[in-house]
Amino acid sequence: MFRVGIGHDTHRTVEGRPLILGGIDIPAEFGLDGHSDADVLLHAVTDAILGAAGLGDIGEWFPDTSAEFAGADSGELLRRVISEVSGQGWSVVNLDSIIFAERPKLSAHKQAMTDNLAKLLGVDSAMVNVKAKTGERVGPIGRGESIDAQVVVLLSKEE
């Protein structure tokens, strides 16, 4: 059987923090604010997988009130979720994603993010797609106040 899941996340941009997207350190004059490492793409990926497997959402799994997850590596949180869904017999078929960021230019980093996501998900890089869009200079994304990510994922399980 197949199950589709959707994920969305938003983080505010802030000076003095690294910008980590899809587990990759992106050179930028700002980073993203958040309780964990604020990897907006990995959070959306994690939520999409939880949704597809019917397992709730990232906030239930990793509460931002918990000291355990302060500064957490979002790749590690995703690995825990993958381990749970794999244990239930699910595997990832493919994943598509969009990062919404006015700055910096992400085209040079898309392949690294794709390869890292594929590694985390245990699939071939051909099954992962990372797209980047600006906010056309309008709204919080366009003004550079936040970065968003949207993800859809398809899971399959032998019946």
List residues binding Zn ion (CB under 5 A).
Answer: 9, 43
Q: Which is nearer to Zn ion, 41 or 127 (CB)?
A: 41
Cα angle: 110, vertex 15, 96; to 5 degrees = 25
Give min distance, CB of 38 to Zn ion, in A.
6
Give min distance, CB of 34 to Zn ion, in A.
6
Give min distance, CB of 40 to Zn ion, in A.
6
Q: Which is nearer to Zn ion, 127 or 147 (CB)?
A: 147
Q: Which is nearer to Zn ion, 45 or 127 (CB)?
A: 45
What backbone torsions phi and psi does residue 100 show, to the nearest 5 degrees?
-105, 105
Determine the residue with CB nearest Zn ion: 43
Q: Which is nearer to Zn ion, 31 or 127 (CB)?
A: 31
Give min distance, CB of 93 to Zn ion, in A.
24
